[in-house]
């Protein structure tokens, strides 16, 4: 049966990518339907109950700047907040929150259910409806067909999902949830390159069986940060602590003795796991000289006693899991409430995508999240947002939004994925962003809210909030620029400047020793006045980083000039003599739209780029 | 080598208008050598060398000086945009030529803010600015492709030996520092040592020193500042000094037929086919009786490793293969013992006038000469020119100049990182300087991609919750 209503955008999947995609498309006015296997698991955190962290909270801030869901939901559900890298500079500073799983899910669902233009339907999708190289809808298990102009596929780890515990295997997209095998089979028949990835989770532990007196306690930070730029501390539920314990020689011995029983070491798993998130088996083998590994114990929520011991993800059989867990301090009597497992799943080579996250093979089909080889809620959410925006842009017959590497971590993420592909689950790190100094959490709104505003994805409340901040910043800057400090004056002394000639307060702010703290004290700004402090901090960063930003601006200007150099679509790469065979093949396959994009193809040299440019000009003039 | 994907500034390619310079006249010796500068600020940079204001399209005679040192004199011509070869602002410095003088001009221009042009870049700019038509475009593309292959090969040649070993060592140390810093930034939860404990300050200081030393001793510097050093080495009385006199054209060294006459080193600067050469005559190598002579021999041995080229002189009449091989081995061992790159060696058979050449063509020698009759001297000059790297083109020389420029920029970034860490600057800013330094070194050693850097972090630290 055909569902009577025609939609603009169909989003398949209700995880972090799917919810952002659906909400974004709906915010842009597209009639959107979110299809999920199970409405109860919308916004479910499949892995550890934490949002943010280095590089990741940068993505969350960007989602927030475009009025997305994740940051707002985190402020509703966060039960422990910390600022990371506070002393290493504003660009790498990050916020990480522990979330109550239930509260988080509720917050996401609440946002979606209050979103205009968005409907939700519970049903498993089994196939896509393709017509003339274009996706126009999908079929569900109950033989109900949905039609739309764009389809966003966010199947997470569910495509061909297989769960491993020791030598036992069972199909599953997440413990307790069935995989999407019918859809996986259908998609494998479509012209996409498929690979297998793996990831793992640790056994969960019942807090009632843990001796907390033996654990190190780690409280949240005070003053407590917020995740959303519009978030308020009052929104946060009550707060709780995390704990730390360590593995020891005995733990390692138990694991070493049972390696042959691990799914990963017995060769049962073909998928590649992430280097930065090794299983405990991997850690013990690869870093044999370490006598202990830190285990970060995260609370699962305020109303549950379950704990998530981060750092011991494993695919060892249950009896070994029990033995090694109980070898650790504080866990001697630990009761495992859910065994740890490794999960393998299908992903599609992201090099088959374009910058908009639309697939190259099928018009109107967008991919977001682990289906593209990424891991992490934040990475998924960021892609979902982008795919949702572009799915709506497609319906509106507007040009896609394709954020650049110098604009946003979302741009870095997509650019890396579609150009380089990935061989392990891709996670964001700040070291991936060459323009890291400008892609800060604190200026995510300045980078993206104006763009979001043009895209129509921003609510009027956020628009007003943003404009207000900008007005205050401009006023403060003007104020500081006009405030001349005379040598020996009161302010000179209070800021211990030791001036020889008059200097504006703005220039004084360039000095390393003049900080938000010293200035607010000298000017009598109360530290409790958070808005004023935020704006002052913004001015401080802008002032102190001006030189570095200028240097990056010059680089960016070059890239943008290259972006204006379009490469005609009809160009015949294979006939360009001056290029190596390998480069010709790569260019022919990727068909970059501009010189800037060609420049990012691995193996490209300046000389090859020059040759390409000349041929592009020639082709354009024919 | 990959470009563009690593951290740091992206690849510079066409459609840029930054300042580039290159030698515009054909390689080799000519009466006039032209160095061309193109891009925004060409006039300003040229004027710093000329110390005179330039006028549009007017030949201005001036001395080209850099850091109070006169490099050459000649004519400077300024072509304002767009009426020039490239369509950009162009200045031509027409001097007396000679590859070394021209390279020094390029070095001075780089110090003033230009960079060395890529192969074909002038023509490419001319094309983009409509100065060349489409029919010529493909030819230019081919030219770029072929010359860049030659340039790549030349660059590879310069990367053999001690220079490359040093640069790679610097790169390894820089990478290890970046691994430390980036790991501390991206994985603050892991128990990675804090920077002070990890000796980052100390490592940065020694890295800066290493770079300075490499720059100071880089062959390029030696070649450009002192001319090319060529030593005459051989057994006593094979006619080294006679040969020197023949090359110089006057009696600069004492020539007698008593073995061991040249007890000390005699250094003479001369031009050989336009190349400034410092010719060093040495005492004949033998186990002398005389103390003074022994000192001379010791200096001769030391000299072997300090020069760019050794002329191993043997007497044609009693040329023996074993004797020659011993001498070659001695030169090489001497260098190896001091951990230096062995100099190039040219075996010169002297006194060919004394042998019947139809019978005795000295097959083991590279050149046969007679200092007495002047026979073969031109061959020797040509061979010297070829050996020290200025045969048919100067791509190798240019490649090396480019490398030195990259090292200089990297050194500045390292210095800033060092200052930053001492002043307590945020880790991310120190990391930024190191990223830039890495990028510039990358033009010599190949880039390090973000993923490669992460790979090193993961293999060094046990990351992962």
**Structural tokens at position A28:** 């842009």
Strands B344-350 and B309-315: parallel
B447/B215 Cα distance (integer angstroms)? 20
Is the minimum CB–CB distance between A212 and chain B shorter than 8 Å? no
A511/A428 Cα distance (integer angstroms)? 32
Q: Look at residue B221 in the predicted model and tell me its pLDDT.
A: 42
Residue-averaged pLDDT of chain A: 92
| Confidence label for B299 from pLDDT (cuts 50, 70 and 90) | low
B7 pLDDT above the threshold of 50: no
Contacts of B188 in chain A (CB under 8 A): 54, 84-85, 88
**Which positions ≥6 away from A347 have C-beta within 8 Å?**
A159, A194, A195, A196, A197, A370, A371, A372, A373
Contact B424/A615, CB-based, under 8 Å? no
Strands A118-122 and A32-36: parallel
Instruction: Tell me how close the Cα of B427 comes to any Cα of chain A, in angstroms.
Output: 5
Q: Which of A114-123, B113-122, B267-276 has the highest mean pLDDT?
A: A114-123
Residue B6: exposure state from Cβ atoms within 10 A (0-12, 13-18, ≥19): buried
Residue of B62, B90, B66 lying closest to B76 (CA atoms): B62
Query: Virtual CA dihedral for B185, B186, B190, B196, nearest 10 degrees?
Result: -20
Residue in the block written with tokens 């061909």: A160
Axis crossing angle, helix A56-65 with helix A444-455, rounded to the nearest 10: 40
Residue of B nearest to A551 (CA): B9
DSSP type of residue B37: E
Contact B462/A287, CB-based, under 8 Å? yes
- Where helices occur in A366-438 by DSSP H, the ranges are 377-395, 409-420
Rg of chain B over Cα atoms, rounded to whole angstroms, equals 26
Q: By mean pLDDT, which of A191-205, A222-236, B82-96, B162-176 is the weakest?
A: B162-176
Q: Look at residue B446 in the predicted model and tell me its pLDDT.
A: 73
Higher pLDDT, B211 or A448: A448
Q: Where in chain B is the domain with CATH 1.20.120.430?
A: 152-224+400-459
How many residues belong to chain B? 465
| Confidence label for A74 from pLDDT (cuts 50, 70 and 90) | very high
Rg of chain A over Cα atoms, rounded to whole angstroms, equals 26
**Run of H or E including A98:** strand A94-99
Q: Look at residue B195 in the predicted model and tell me its pLDDT.
A: 59
Cα-flanking dihedrals φ and ψ of residue B341, to 5°?
-70, 125
**Structural tokens at position A447:** 């980078």
Higher pLDDT, A175 or A431: A431
Residue of A nearest to B183 (CA): A431
CB B18 within 8 A of CB B39: yes
Contacts of A272 in chain B (CB under 8 A): none
A83 pLDDT above the threshold of 50: yes
Contact A610/B144, CB-based, under 8 Å? yes
A7/A137 Cα distance (integer angstroms)? 9
Cα-flanking dihedrals φ and ψ of residue A443, to 5°?
-110, 15
A292/A216 Cα distance (integer angstroms)? 15
Query: How much is the average pLDDT of A416-444?
Result: 94
A452/A466 Cα distance (integer angstroms)? 11
B338 pLDDT above the threshold of 80: no
The domain B152-224+400-459 is placed in CATH, from the list 1.20.120.430, 1.10.274.10, 3.40.190.10, 1.10.10.10, at 1.20.120.430
Contacts of B14 in chain A (CB under 8 A): 565, 595, 609-610, 613-614
Query: How much is the average pLDDT of A546-572?
Result: 85
Q: Among A276, A286, A611, select the one facing B144 at the smallest CB separation.
A: A611
Instruction: Tell me how close the Cα of A191 comes to any Cα of chain B, in angstroms.
Output: 28
CA B315, B320, B323, B327 dihedral sign is positive
Contacts of B187 in chain A (CB under 8 A): 54
A125/A25 Cα distance (integer angstroms)? 20
Helix (H, G, I), strand (E, B) or coil at A32: strand
Q: How far is CA A546 from CA A330, A407, A486, A507, in A?
A: 50, 17, 24, 12
Give the domain B248-394 fold. Rossmann fold (3.40.50)
Cβ-Cβ pairs closer than 8 A, A with B, add up to: 184
Query: How much is the average pLDDT of B126-140?
Result: 75
A76/A107 Cα distance (integer angstroms)? 6
Q: Which of A63-72, A195-204, A340-349 has the highest mean pLDDT?
A: A63-72
A2 pLDDT above the threshold of 60: yes
A559/B8 Cα distance (integer angstroms)? 13
A398 pLDDT above the threshold of 90: yes
**Structural tokens at position A422:** 């990935």
Contacts of B425 in chain A (CB under 8 A): 512
**Run of H or E including A76:** helix A70-77
CA B248, B250, B253, B254 dihedral sign is positive
Q: By mean pLDDT, which of A28-42, A543-557, B137-151 is the weakest?
A: B137-151
Contact A599/B13, CB-based, under 8 Å? yes
Is the minimum CB–CB distance between A610 and chain B shorter than 8 Å? yes
CB B8 within 8 A of CB B375: no
CB A442 within 8 A of CB A537: yes
Contact A613/B454, CB-based, under 8 Å? no
Helix (H, G, I), strand (E, B) or coil at B267: strand
Contact A607/B424, CB-based, under 8 Å? no
B10 pLDDT above the threshold of 50: no
Query: Which of residues 470 through 529 in chain A touch B, CB cutoff 8 A?
Result: 512
Q: Where in chain B is the domain with CATH 3.40.50.300?
A: 248-394
Contact A606/B13, CB-based, under 8 Å? yes
Contact B137/A618, CB-based, under 8 Å? yes
CB A227 within 8 A of CB A78: yes
Contacts of A48 in chain B (CB under 8 A): 465
| pTM of the predicted model as reported, rounded to 2 decimal places | 0.80
**Run of H or E including A149:** strand A145-153
Residue of A416, A415, A413, A473 lying closest to A449 (CA atoms): A473
Residue-averaged pLDDT of chain B: 76
Q: Look at residue B373 in the predicted model and tell me its pLDDT.
A: 87
Q: By mean pLDDT, which of A295-299, A549-553, A560-564, B132-136 is the weakest?
A: B132-136
Q: Look at residue B1 in the predicted model and tell me its pLDDT.
A: 28
**Which positions ≥6 away from B112 have C-beta within 8 Å?**
B45, B48, B49
pLDDT digit string, tens, across residues B180-218: 999 999 988 766 655 556 688 889 999 999 888 887 766
Contact A599/B127, CB-based, under 8 Å? no
A394 pLDDT above the threshold of 60: yes
Query: How much is the average pLDDT of A514-537?
Result: 89
Query: How much is the average pLDDT of B372-388?
Result: 83
Residue of A nearest to B143 (CA): A578
Residue of A nearest to B122 (CA): A610
Query: How much is the average pLDDT of B102-112?
Result: 84
Is the minimum CB–CB distance between A578 and chain B shorter than 8 Å? yes
Query: How much is the average pLDDT of A351-371?
Result: 95
- String of DSSP letters for A283-329: HHHHTTT-S--EEEEEE--SS--EEEEET----S-HHHHHHHHHTST
Q: How far is CA B324 from CA A79, A118, B229, B363, in A?
A: 83, 90, 22, 12
B116/B106 Cα distance (integer angstroms)? 7
Contacts of B428 in chain A (CB under 8 A): 88-92, 436-437
Q: Look at residue B358 in the predicted model and tell me its pLDDT.
A: 54
| Confidence label for B259 from pLDDT (cuts 50, 70 and 90) | low
| Confidence label for A612 from pLDDT (cuts 50, 70 and 90) | confident
**Residue A506 CB neighbour total at 10 angstroms:** 18
Q: How far is CA A427 from CA A350, A375, A422, in A?
A: 14, 6, 10
Contact A611/B454, CB-based, under 8 Å? no
pLDDT digit string, tens, across residues A304-338: 999 999 999 998 999 999 999 999 999 999 999 99
**Structural tokens at position B404:** 């030195």
Contacts of B193 in chain A (CB under 8 A): none
**Which positions ≥6 away from B177 have C-beta within 8 Å?**
B200, B203, B204, B207, B434
Is the minimum CB–CB distance between A597 and chain B shorter than 8 Å? no
Higher pLDDT, A13 or A593: A13
Contact B15/A595, CB-based, under 8 Å? yes
B240/B242 Cα distance (integer angstroms)? 5
CB B63 within 8 A of CB B76: no
Give the domain B19-117 fold. Gyrase A; domain 2 (3.30.1360)
Q: Look at residue B160 in the predicted model and tell me its pLDDT.
A: 54
Reported ipTM: the value is 0.89
Contact A558/B455, CB-based, under 8 Å? no
B224 pLDDT above the threshold of 70: no
Q: Which of A456-470, B35-49, B136-150 has the highest mean pLDDT?
A: A456-470
pLDDT digit string, tens, across residues B348-368: 888 888 876 655 555 667 888
Cα-flanking dihedrals φ and ψ of residue A126, to 5°?
-110, -15
**Which positions ≥6 away from A461 have C-beta within 8 Å?**
A230
Higher pLDDT, B7 or A17: A17
Higher pLDDT, B403 or B436: B436
Q: Among B2, B9, B428, select the one facing A436 at the smallest CB separation.
A: B428
Q: Look at residue B460 in the predicted model and tell me its pLDDT.
A: 79
Instruction: Tell me how close the Cα of B14 comes to any Cα of chain A, in angstroms.
Output: 6
Q: By mean pLDDT, which of A96-105, A247-256, A476-485, B245-254 is the weakest?
A: B245-254
Higher pLDDT, A175 or B113: B113
Give me the residues paired with residue B21 across strands. B37, B116
| Confidence label for B391 from pLDDT (cuts 50, 70 and 90) | very low
Residue of B nearest to A275 (CA): B458
Q: Where in chain B is the domain with CATH 3.30.1360.120?
A: 19-117
Query: How much is the average pLDDT of A32-41?
Result: 96
Residue of A11, A488, A48, A506 lying closest to A296 (CA atoms): A48
Instruction: Tell me how close the Cα of A605 comes to any Cα of chain B, in angstroms.
Output: 6
A429/A56 Cα distance (integer angstroms)? 7
Query: How much is the average pLDDT of A434-445?
Result: 95
| Confidence label for B115 from pLDDT (cuts 50, 70 and 90) | confident
Q: Which of A412-416, B166-170, B243-247 has the highest mean pLDDT?
A: A412-416
Helix (H, G, I), strand (E, B) or coil at A277: coil
Query: How much is the average pLDDT of A81-103?
Result: 96
A271 pLDDT above the threshold of 80: no
A386 pLDDT above the threshold of 70: yes
Contact B465/A548, CB-based, under 8 Å? no
């Amino acid at each position: 049966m055909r569902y009577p209503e025609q939609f603009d955008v169909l989003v398949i999947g209700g995880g972090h990518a799917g919810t952002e995609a659906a909400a974004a498309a709906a915010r842009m006015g597209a009639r959107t339907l979110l299809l999920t296997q199970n409405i109860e698991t919308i916004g479910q955190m499949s892995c550890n109950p934490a949002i943010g962290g280095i590089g990741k909270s940068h993505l969350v801030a960007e989602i927030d700047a475009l009025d997305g869901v994740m940051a707002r939901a985190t402020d509703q559900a966060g039960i422990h907040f910390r600022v990371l890298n506070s002393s290493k500079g504003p660009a790498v500073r990050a916020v990480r929150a522990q979330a109550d799983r239930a509260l988080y899910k509720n917050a996401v669902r609440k946002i979606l259910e209050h979103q205009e233009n968005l409907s939700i339907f519970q049903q498993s999708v089994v196939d896509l409806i393709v017509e003339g190289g274009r996706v126009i809808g999908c079929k569900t298990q109950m033989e109900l067909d949905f039609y739309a102009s764009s389809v966003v596929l966010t199947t997470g780890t569910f495509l061909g999902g297989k769960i491993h515990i020791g030598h036992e295997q069972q199909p599953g997209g997440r413990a307790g949830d069935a995989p999407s095998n019918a859809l996986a089979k259908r998609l494998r028949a479509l012209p996409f390159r498929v690979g297998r990835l793996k990831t793992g989770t640790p056994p969960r532990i019942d807090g009632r069986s843990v001796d907390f007196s033996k654990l190190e306690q780690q409280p949240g930070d005070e003053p407590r940060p917020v995740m959303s730029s519009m978030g308020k501390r009052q929104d946060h539920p009550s707060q709780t602590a995390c704990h730390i314990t360590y593995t020891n020689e005995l733990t390692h011995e138990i694991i070493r003795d049972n390696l042959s029983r691990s799914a990963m070491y017995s060769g049962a798993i073909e998928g590649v796991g992430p280097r930065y998130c090794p299983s405990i088996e991997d850690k013990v083998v690869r870093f044999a000289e370490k006598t202990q590994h830190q285990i970060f114990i995260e609370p699962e929520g305020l109303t549950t006693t379950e704990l998530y011991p981060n750092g011991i993800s494993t695919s060892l059989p249950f009896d070994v899991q029990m033995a090694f867990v109980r070898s650790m301090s504080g866990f001697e009597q630990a009761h495992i409430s859910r065994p740890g497992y490794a999960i393998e799943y299908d992903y599609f080579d992201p090099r088959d995508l374009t910058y908009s996250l639309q697939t190259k093979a099928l018009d109107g089909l967008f991919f977001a999240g682990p289906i593209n080889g990424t891991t992490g809620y934040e990475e998924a959410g960021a892609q979902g947002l982008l795919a949702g925006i572009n799915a709506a842009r497609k319906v509106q017959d507007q040009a896609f939004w394709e954020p650049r590497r110098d604009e946003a971590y979302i741009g870095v993420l997509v650019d890396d994925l579609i150009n380089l592909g990935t061989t392990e689950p891709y996670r964001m790190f700040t070291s991936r962003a060459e323009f890291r100094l400008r892609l800060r959490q604190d200026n995510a709104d300045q980078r993206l809210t104006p763009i979001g505003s043009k895209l129509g994805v921003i609510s009027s409340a956020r628009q007003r909030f943003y404009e207000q901040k900008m007005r205050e910043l401009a006023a403060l800057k003007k104020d500081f620029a006009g405030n001349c400090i005379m040598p020996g004056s009161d302010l000179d002394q209070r800021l211990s400047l030791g001036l020889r000639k008059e200097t504006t307060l703005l220039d004084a702010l360039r000095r390393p020793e003049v900080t938000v703290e010293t200035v607010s004290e000298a000017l009598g700004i109360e530290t409790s006045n958070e808005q004023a402090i935020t704006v002052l901090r913004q001015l401080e960063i802008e002032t102190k980083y001006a030189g570095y930003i200028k240097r990056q601006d010059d680089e960016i200007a070059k890239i943008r000039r290259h972006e204006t150099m379009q490469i005609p679509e009809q160009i015949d790469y294979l006939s360009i003599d001056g290029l190596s065979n390998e480069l010709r093949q790569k260019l022919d396959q990727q068909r970059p739209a501009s010189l800037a994009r060609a420049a990012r193809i691995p193996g490209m040299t300046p000389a090859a780029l020059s040759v390409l440019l000349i041929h592009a000009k020639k082709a354009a003039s024919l | 080598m990959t470009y563009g994907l690593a951290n740091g500034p992206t690849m510079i390619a066409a459609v840029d208008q930054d300042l580039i310079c290159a030698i515009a006249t054909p390689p080799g010796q000519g009466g006039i050598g032209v160095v061309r500068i193109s891009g925004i600020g060409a006039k300003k940079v040229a004027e710093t060398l000329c110390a005179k204001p330039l006028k549009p399209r007017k030949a201005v005679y001036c001395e080209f000086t850099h850091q109070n040192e006169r490099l050459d004199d000649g004519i400077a011509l300024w072509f304002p945009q767009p009426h020039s070869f490239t369509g950009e602002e162009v200045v031509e410095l027409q001097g007396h030529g000679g590859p070394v003088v021209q390279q020094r001009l390029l070095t001075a221009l780089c110090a003033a803010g230009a960079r060395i042009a890529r192969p074909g870049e002038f023509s490419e700019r001319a094309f983009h600015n409509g100065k060349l038509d489409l029919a010529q475009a493909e030819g230019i593309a081919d030219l770029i492709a072929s010359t860049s292959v030659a340039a790549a090969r030349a660059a590879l040649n310069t990367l053999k030996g001690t220079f490359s070993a040093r640069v790679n060592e610097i790169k390894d140390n820089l990478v290890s520092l970046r691994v430390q810093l980036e790991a501390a930034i991206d994985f603050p939860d892991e128990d990675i040592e804090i920077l002070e404990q990890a000796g980052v300050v100390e490592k940065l200081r020694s890295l800066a020193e290493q770079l300075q030393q490499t720059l100071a001793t880089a062959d390029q510097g030696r070649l450009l500042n002192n001319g090319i050093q060529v030593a005459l080495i051989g057994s006593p009385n094979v006619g080294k000094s006679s040969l020197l006199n023949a090359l110089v054209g006057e009696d600069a060294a004492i020539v007698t037929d008593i073995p061991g006459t040249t007890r000390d080193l005699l250094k003479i600067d001369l031009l050989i086919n336009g190349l400034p050469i410092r010719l060093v005559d040495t005492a004949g190598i033998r186990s002398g009786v005389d103390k003074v002579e022994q000192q001379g021999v010791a200096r001769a041995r030391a000299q072997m490793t300090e020069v760019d080229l050794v002329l191993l002189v043997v007497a044609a009449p009693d040329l023996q293969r074993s004797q020659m091989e011993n001498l070659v081995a001695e030169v090489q061992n001497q260098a190896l013992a001091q951990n230096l790159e062995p100099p190039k060696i040219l075996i010169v058979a002297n006194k060919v006038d004394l042998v019947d050449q139809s019978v005795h063509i000295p097959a083991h020698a590279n050149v046969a000469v007679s200092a007495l009759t002047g026979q073969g001297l031109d061959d020797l000059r040509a061979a010297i020119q070829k050996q020290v790297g200025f045969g048919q083109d100067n791509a190798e020389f240019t490649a090396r100049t480019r490398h030195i420029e990259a090292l200089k920029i990297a050194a500045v970034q390292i210095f800033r990182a060092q200052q930053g860490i001492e002043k307590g600057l945020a880790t991310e800013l120190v990391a930024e300087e190191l990223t830039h330094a890495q990028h510039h070194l990358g033009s010599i050693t190949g880039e390090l991609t973000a993923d490669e850097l992460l790979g090193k972090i993961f293999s060094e630290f046990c990351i992962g919750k």
